[in-house]
Amino acid sequence: MSGTQPVKTWTRDNWPIAAAMIQYPNSLPGGGSVQDQSAEGWASTLEDIVDAGFTDLDPTDSWLRLADLSKSRLDEFMGVVSSLGLTIPAISTSRRSVIDPDQGDAYLDYSHRVIDTAAGIGAKAVSFGLFGPLSPAQKQVLWFWTKPGVTNPDDPATWQKAVSRIRELGRHAAEVGLEVSLEMYEDTYLGTADSAVRFVTEVDCPAVGLNLDLGNLIRLHRPIEHWQTMLEKTVPFAKYWHVKNYMRDEDPDSGSIVTMPTPMESGLISYRVAIKMAIAAGFNSAFLVEHYGGDGLSICARNRDYLRSILPKARLGLTP
């Protein structure tokens, strides 16, 4: 067909906004793993998501590794998802870095399985990161980001290894119609706006962009670049996006910095500004709402409702 014709695009009413599963552990109270849980057990958890008003879900592999389920078990899980009226726009991974010094090769293989699994269930995106497991010090404190974690080495060879492996994943994703979103996270090659832009530019794969999870950076108890400056640099590369917010207070006299999780409309980042910037730059991917602490699911639902209130009421796009 020649020329162009108008097509409807996402609006605040139907934009995919997925619930995160970070508030649900992989281990079960009586022992065992969610990985081996019955379909009824999965359903019991996902009913919480539905009761909170969500229609979209990101399984998040800190809760359940879909890519490690057998075909029959994956079919069983997707049957539960379907029966509850949920859809899965994306799959996020956590702490499975393809350059992990011990498990990098295994995590690369796993990441390829995540891509194939996501394509097989009809998802449109996957999120990968270069952050490692929590350090012993991080496991001992209330908020893990207040203590140093694993850092990516300042080593050109490791940088290039990361670029090469993400490019490999990006090409695989493109072959099956998915986008790859790389999560910005402190002390990794995606830990600052400048480094993240340099990294994704070197990957040089149209299917690969950035997960602009600036919440991971503004919560740090250290000096940071202004969130809007970071966003201006990174927003042209935005794809599937984890959104959350934090209050932040800085005392210039003592150097003290305090941060804490908060609903999206209450924190340092103005998502009203951020979302407008992203859409103006062409952002057209799903969101994932997150929150740490307390009743995380209820805050995620509040964040979803806030996000819908600031998304466009109507959009009209043109396609060839």
Q: What tens digit of pLDDT does each residue of 175-231 get?
A: 999 999 999 999 999 999 999 999 999 999 999 999 999 999 999 999 999 999 999
pTM for the full model? 0.94
* 283-312 average pLDDT score: 97
**Token couple for 182:** 């790389």
Residue 12, pLDDT above cutoff 60: yes
Q: Provide the mean pLDDT of the chain.
A: 94
C-alpha to C-alpha distance for 213 and 292, rounded to whole angstroms? 14
Rounded Cα distance, 171 and 85, in Å: 32
Q: Sign of torsion, CA 110 111 112 117?
A: positive
Q: What is the pLDDT, as a whole number, of residue 318? A: 36
Q: Tell me, rounded to whole angstroms, the distance of Cα 78 from its chain centroid.
A: 21
Nearest to 290 by CA among 240, 249, 248: 240
Decide: residue 40, CB within 10 A, 0-12 exposed, 13-18 middle, 19+ buried.
exposed
Using DSSP, state whether 72 is helix, strand or coil.
helix
CB 195 within 8 A of CB 154: no
Q: Is the dihedral of CA 127, 133, 138, 142 positive or negative?
A: positive
Q: What is the mean pLDDT of residues 304-319?
A: 79
- What local confidence, expressed as pLDDT, does residue 220 receive? 97
- Give yes or no for a contact between 90 and 126, defined as CB atoms under 8 angstroms apart: yes
Q: Which range of residues forms the domain containing residue 220?
A: 5-319
Residue among 305, 291, 185 at smallest CA distance from 234: 185
Residues 221 and 146 sit within 8 Å (Cβ to Cβ): yes
**Closest Cα partner for 150 from 137, 135, 161, 164?**
135
Domain count, the chain: 1
Q: Decide if pLDDT at 308 tops 60.
A: yes
CATH number at 280 reads 3.20.20.150
What confidence category does residue 315 fall into, taking pLDDT thresholds of 50, 70 and 90?
low
Q: Tell me what the mean pLDDT of segment 253-274 comes to.
A: 97
Confidence at residue 103, expressed as pLDDT on a 0 to 100 scale = 97
* Alpha-carbon distance values, 127 to 104, 183, 218 (Å): 16, 7, 20
pLDDT digits (tens, 9 = 90+) for 102-138: 999 999 999 999 999 999 999 999 999 999 999 999 9
Per-residue burial over 9-18, b = 16 or more CB atoms within 10 Å of its CB, e = otherwise:
ebeeeebbbb
Model confidence at 1, pLDDT cuts 50, 70, 90, reads very low
17-19 vs 90-92, strand pairing mode: unpaired
Q: Which residues contact 203 (CB under 8 A, 6 or more apart)?
A: 163, 166, 167, 170
Q: What average pLDDT score do residues 11-15 get?
A: 94
CA 289 to chain centre: 9
CA distance from start to end of the chain? 8
Among 45-54, 134-143, 193-202, 311-320, which is the least confidently predicted range? Answer: 311-320
pLDDT band at 319 (very low <50, low <70, confident <90, very high): very low
pLDDT at 9: 78
Residues 6+ apart with CB under 8 A from 30: none
